[in-house]
Amino acid sequence: MNCGKEYPIMGFSMNGFFLLLCLLALSSSSPSFGASSEQIVTNMSYVISATNLKPYDWRYSKVELPPFYASASIELSSNVNLNLEHIDKYPKMKLPIICFHFGGPPLPDVSNTAIEDLVLNDLPSGSVGDIQNLQNEEQCYPLQEMMTFKLSSLQITPGVYYIGLFNGFGPIRTQSKMINRGSAYSFTANITVEGCLNPRMWGEYCNRAVDDLSMEQSNGRYNEIVESIAYRNYSRTICRQKFDVDAYALTVMEPVQQVRITAKNISEASRNSREFSIMLYARYNALPDKISHDYATDISEDPLVIQLPRAGVWYFAIEPVFKSNVQQGMQKGNIEPCYLVEWEVIACMQEKAVSNCTWKQHVLQAIPYQNQIVYLPDRGNVSSESVDFYLEPYLSKSSYGNGHGSDNGWTYFLLYTEQGTEGYNTHIQLTSDTKLSYGLYVRFGGLPSLDMWDFSYLDQTSNSNNNSMFKLYDTSQEGINLYILYPTAGLWIIGLRHPVHLNNQSSPQTMMTISTDTCPNQCSGHGKCVFKKDLSESADYSYCSCDRNYGGFDCSVTLLSKAGYYTVHFLSLHEQRLQVIFLIASNAAALLPAFKVFQQKAFAEWVIFMSSGISSALYHACDVGSWCALSYSVLQFMDFWLSFLAVVSTFVYLTIFSETAKRTIHTAAAIITALIAQSGATRSNNIIIVLSIGALAFLLGWLIQLCTRCKSFSFPVGSSLKITERWQSSKDQLLGLMMAIYRYFRWGYVLLGVIAMSMAAISWIKEASETYWIWHSIWHISIYTSAFFFICSKAKTQNVDNQEAPAAASYELTRQESFARV
């Protein structure tokens, strides 16, 4: 079997895969096994072409790691050039970083956690340190020029991961910007993933057998049901002379109450049977060992009890261990311990949960509604048109066994989010006419409790609002409004802890809404929701594109005050006022070319220059948040369109066209530049396009003039001029045209215009987010000043043919005299 083909992967998808592996390559070392090449097969080989990332741009890539892969080797190269020895001196929010998150796209700028924990060091041997809370917290790392890693499946748990690559982050990441200049980066990668040919063999070398306990009962039935409590049992009798480590897998298909593992009937055949322990290591979704595990205990002494385990695959490793190192060396080869290991899964039936199966749990149905998915109980008293439901009829009545107060009970709501919805948000809202008495706990894959939850809300002071994937809005004593951002696809369970008397109320008072929404809080009313596909083209995600004055992942951060001053930048009020004055007042430079063309009675050009300066001033007044005469998009279009048209008009003014031809060219230029401004006003290559259009019009005018002169110069029929004389006459005519062009311009002004335009080009290149105000102000002054100098360079306005009329007449008389003598 040969799976070692090369597959072209689009964009950054496998680049994200590489970076995920890099981040999960922890310093934890796994046991070394002998290679078994017949069990390993190369699955895929990927070659990633260069992928570019512009300033304050970001990309996501969904990566799904199957459970049967063994290892991966990766080589990454990029043009990132960061000095890691002085990286702490770089502004964090400008760094190119890689962030990862289990289940959904990362959001490093929702909370300060990811920014504060940003690792600012090298990655020696592929290790980046410990990674904790992977399911709830993303972690971010600075990108580097070269990365090479060899990783095994014991270091990387299978599942769906999202990689986020950010070229700068923070509130201004989602802000609408006039410019977006700075350093751009590109990446390439070569990745090889190896998988196990036998699905029952695991590990880096595919030589670790895993016994799947769930295969015994594929129908998922329970062995015994007592009242509402169901039991499912698995057992194995183990005898190992070499004290090998045995691995087992148990699939928990639904949220259960408990998984219990015990060791029984330890053999007394060996005189030293009491000198060893039976160590059990348990781990969710990955093989455990002595270092990497979720639970560990000596089951020969006490059973291992996993309370409220997550639904999914649990892996167990069982290893007999001598209690004395001396005895271990002397007697290990003389003993064959035997013991019986039992697994017991305890669950509730009939929509019950926990507390002797007396509390209620409800499975919610997913119902598409407009542009969202709502989740409702499967009950007849919920209207088909409803997007919410009254909560009290579904609450538990019992508080038995709570242990935290006899008046409180729990009610659970189960919802399943589909694959492909990880790029959206789960919205949970409770509203009431009276003070709420609920504690809200949310957990992925398992039933939540006071000790085990992923997100929680008790009140405004006790909640998970510091979590990067959890956000509260408009929460009060009468309402809870929260979002789980980019949640993992799968089973989510919402647990409500409440007084048991609430369901005895004569009339329901609390409404509950659970839905999958696109953008959180509808972008706070300060932006629009945008939809994109990740780079692997396998998943969609939504994000807020904020207005000019706002930023943040939900457009809730005010970046510019109503007075036009930045609220999140470290600038003094004086500095901000200076920026506003410069950006607006610098447009007064448009008066220079406007005055000159008005003096020359070129009224069309006068209108264009005056309109360009005014629209630019109005746009920048709105751009900095001071005052908006029209909508931001209209002002932006007018500014760029009239600026483009002013450039073309300057070139046309310098040519020799009739008024009719100029009007035609102005009309065509207005249409073309309007299309350019509408299709992408802020693109940098627009300047090149507009200058090319103007230069083309300039050259076309003089080319027409040249053709006219050549056409007007002809020899009469029967002329006996020699070839040398005709060539001399043509040279004289062309020389006359060149002299006319030379006299047509004042070259001192041309030189000044070139200097001013060079300054405008330098300021355009130097523009960045922090220095934008000063360089763009210089751009305004330089570009209008260059137009003024170029207009002043035009010395004559009459037709060049008229300038050369006396010389042409003199030449014609001389030629006629020569004909007469012949």
pLDDT of residue 123: 45
pLDDT of residue 383: 58
> pLDDT (tens digit, 9 = 90+) per residue, 53-62?
888 889 888 8
* Average pLDDT of the chain, as a whole number: 76
Q: Is the pLDDT score of 467 beyond 60? A: yes
Select the more confidently predicted residue: 812 or 441. Answer: 441
Distances (CA, A) of 253 to 74, 285, 310, 441, 490: 34, 13, 9, 21, 12
> pLDDT (tens digit, 9 = 90+) per residue, 739-760?
777 777 888 888 999 999 999 8
Q: Which of 40-49, 64-73, 641-650 has the highest mean pLDDT?
A: 641-650
pLDDT of residue 293: 87
How much is the pTM?
0.74
Q: Is the pLDDT score of 496 beyond 90? A: yes
* Residue 37: band (very low, low, confident or very high) from pLDDT cuts 50, 70, 90: very low
Calculate mean pLDDT across residues 165-192: 78
> pLDDT (tens digit, 9 = 90+) per residue, 98-141?
787 888 899 888 876 656 666 544 444 333 434 444 444 677 87
DSSP 556: -
**Least reliable range by pLDDT among 1-5, 346-350, 399-403:** 1-5
Q: Is the pLDDT score of 433 beyond 50? A: yes
Select the more confidently predicted residue: 270 or 663. Answer: 663
Calculate mean pLDDT across residues 661-687: 84
pLDDT of residue 330: 46
Q: Distance between CA atoms of 154 and 247, rounded to whole angstroms?
A: 13
Give me 224's structure tokens: 């015994």
Calculate mean pLDDT across residues 338-366: 85
Select the more confidently predicted residue: 441 or 549. Answer: 441
Question: Closest by alpha carbon to 22, among 96, 129, 102?
Answer: 129
pLDDT of residue 403: 45
* Residue 575: band (very low, low, confident or very high) from pLDDT cuts 50, 70, 90: low
Q: Is the pLDDT score of 277 beyond 50? A: yes
Give me 327's structure tokens: 């005895």
Indicate the burial class of 550 (C-beta count within 10 angstroms; 0-12, 13-18, 19 or more): buried
Calculate mean pLDDT across residues 428-437: 88
Task: Indicate the helix (H) or strand (E) that contains 542.
Answer: strand 540-546
Select the more confidently predicted residue: 63 or 257. Answer: 257
Kindly report the number of other CB atoms within 10 A of residue 237's CB atom.
11
Q: Which of 209-213, 422-426, 769-773 has the highest mean pLDDT?
A: 422-426
> pLDDT (tens digit, 9 = 90+) per residue, 2-36?
333 333 333 333 344 333 443 333 333 333 333 34
Select the more confidently predicted residue: 781 or 230. Answer: 781
Q: What is the 3-state secondary structure (H, E, C) of 215-259?
A: HHHCCCCCCEEECCEEEEEEEEEEECCCCCCEEEEEEECCCCCEE
pLDDT of residue 396: 87
> pLDDT (tens digit, 9 = 90+) per residue, 767-778?
776 677 888 899
Per cent of the chain over pLDDT 70 is: 72
Give me 406's structure tokens: 């006899």
Question: Closest by alpha carbon to 139, among 171, 172, 161?
Answer: 161
Question: Closest by alpha carbon to 440, among 496, 381, 498?
Answer: 496
Q: Is the pLDDT score of 798 beyond 80? A: no
Q: Is the pLDDT score of 814 beyond 50? A: no
**Least reliable range by pLDDT among 86-90, 370-374, 774-778, 783-787:** 86-90
Q: Distance between CA atoms of 763 and 778, rounded to whole angstroms?
A: 6
Question: Closest by alpha carbon to 559, among 175, 107, 177, 166?
Answer: 175
Q: Is the pLDDT score of 723 beyond 80? A: no
Per cent of the chain over pLDDT 90 is: 18
Q: What is the 3-state secondary structure (H, E, C) of 162-228?
A: EEEEEECCCHHHHECCCCCCCCCEEEEEEEEEEEECCCCEECCCCCEEEEEHHHHHCCCCCCEEECC
SS3 424: coil
Question: Closest by alpha carbon to 508, among 382, 605, 420?
Answer: 382
Kindly report the number of other CB atoms within 10 A of residue 531's CB atom.
12
Kindly report the number of other CB atoms within 10 A of residue 688's CB atom.
10
Question: Closest by alpha carbon to 417, among 379, 388, 382, 374?
Answer: 374
> pLDDT (tens digit, 9 = 90+) per residue, 615-637?
999 888 877 766 778 887 788 88
Q: Is the pLDDT score of 275 beyond 70? A: no
Q: Which residues contact residue 801 at a Cβ distance below 8 angstroms, ignoring those fewer than 6 apart?
A: 705, 708, 709, 712
Q: Is the pLDDT score of 651 beyond 80? A: yes
DSSP 657: -
* Residue 447: band (very low, low, confident or very high) from pLDDT cuts 50, 70, 90: very high
- Gyration radius of the chain over CA positions: 38
